Amino acid sequence: MFTILPKFDVSSEHDAVVVGVFNNESFGQDVQTIDDGLKGQLTKLKKAKIKDVEKVYTLGLLHFETVYVIGLGKKGECTTETLRENMALVAKQARIDKTKNLGVLVESFVVDDRIDASDVAVLIGEGVALGSYEVEDYKEKTNEVDVSVESVTLYGENHETLREAVQLGYTYGMGTNRARKLVNTPGNLLTPTELAEEAVDLAKEHGFEYEVLEKAEMEKLGMGALLAVAAGSDQPPKMIVLKYIGNKESDELIAFVGKGLTFDSGGISIKGRENMHEMKMDMGGAAAVLGAMDIIGHVKPKVNVLAVIPSSENLLNGSALKPGDVIRSLSGKTIEVRNTDAEGRLILADGVTYAKQLGATSLIDVATLTGAVLIALGNCTTGAVTNNEELMEDILEASAETGEWIWQLPNYEPYKQMLRTSDVADLNNAPGRLAGSITAGLFIGEFAGNTPWVHLDIAGTAWQPKATNLGPLGGTGAMARTLAQVVMDREVL
């Protein structure tokens, strides 16, 4: 899909050429050549607002039909986040225009030492992937042919560096899109069984080790928390495991544990009817883990990674979990269920415990866990709780690279004591509305024990209620890129 060429030729065969324009900055030679051919039309756009994408039709003056001009604002204002969004916007516009072949003048987007040509190439690849994603629908189709960008030529020096960079960015974007597709799939089409099939397909694609535990095996092992949540559904639960060994010489094994609730009605503590249809997204944590594993499978870093996904539905029948029930988790800890809609932390309890049994030396769990995180942080920032500041810092650094914002929440002892307010069990799964995101995360932390652990609550970030520059309404694939980046950064270490 990507071609790298050192020199731009104004007679190059492209449907459109993409250039960046900074406010009141001189054009580079190639952009100036285009501007001269268009009799100064680009000069008029030097004050284009940041994130603006303007189409300039060449009207036969140049060999290609269109120039996409991206407003970059002042150089000091331009960030990797704005560049990523700009590239995604171009990909979306190209899709609308049925543009198949793009040329990109890389140097026109270089800011300074902060964002060099290699960084720009990564963002081009990422933006093209993210911006081209569309939610699959099930409507009766017309005869209209869907056209996406088929090829992108980057003009810039250092061929191999740019080639590797743009491909890396594209891999990150496509891994995110894989997660988005899973989140957007209706619950009747993505049951725990089908989620397990998707995971196995991914494992076979990349040569991962894999295992899928069935209900009978879970009963034998004592996965009482996952089984309790699944009791209200006719769909059998699955415990999905993928393993990537990138460094046989290392005993380190970082584990991703993703919440795989393929539909959440709330159980007996049933949710309100408004927007319940969106609860197909309650497996956003599992989707993020699979998206990250897809990226890891393509890049193949020298790091060992374990993915564990406890999966079930949370529905209600005569066998469903009830408020007041006491269940025994895989760890042996007992849990009083005060709220059956606080089910994600239950299945993650067994997921985290199983990851530890499989040899995890550090843990990151990802889950659409609480509505409270939306109240605290809105839908643009993921909440985090940890027992290990070093691991937390690694994740924050990775999120800064990927542009996926994370905010660390406190883990003070009074919050932990709130979990021990049951008279009949070791833990209470829902101690109340106060500090709901914190106590939910710390509940999972009880099962992490002393193993370095971070919990990421993506209830706000896994689903966007309206389209953004980076993608359409629906699943976002949040944290897929950040999880993968944590692994890539470990390879450097």
d(CA 247, CA 436): 39
Any binding-site annotation on 278? Answer: no
How many Å is the Cα radius of gyration of the chain? 24
Please identify which of the residues 92, 178, 280, 345 carries the catalytic annotation. 345
Which amino acid, 304?
N
HEC letters along 261-301 = EEEECCCCCCCCCCCHHHHHHHHHHHHHHHHHHHHHHHHCC
Q: Per the annotation, does 259 bind a ligand?
A: yes
Number of helical (H) and strand (E) elements in the chain, helices listed first? 14, 20
Is the separation of the CB atoms in 171 and 2 below 8 Å?
A: no
* Spatial distance between the Cα atoms of 9 and 17, rounded to a whole number of angstroms: 11
For residue 212, the cross-strand partners are 240
According to the annotation, is 126 in a ligand binding site?
A: no
92 included as an active-site residue:
no
The answer on whether 116 is annotated among ligand-binding residues is no
Query: In angstroms, rounded to a whole number, what is the distance separating the alpha carbons of residues 89 and 97?
Result: 12
In this structure, are residues 162 and 106 in contact, taking their beta carbons and an 8 Å threshold?
yes
CA angle, residues 98, 103, 107, in degrees to nearest 5: 140
36 marked among binding-site residues = no
Task: State yes or no: is 49 an active-site residue.
Answer: no
Cβ neighbours of residue 411 under 8 Å, at least 6 residues apart? 385, 386, 387, 438, 441, 442, 445
Cα torsion angle, 61, 64, 70, 75, sign: negative
Q: Which of 46, 100, 215, 271 is catalytic?
A: 271
Token digits for 26? 């001189």
Query: Which residue positions form the known binding site for Mn(2+)?
Result: 259, 264, 282, 341, 343
Query: Which residue positions form the known binding site?
Result: 259, 264, 282, 341, 343
Which residues are tagged catalytic?
271, 345
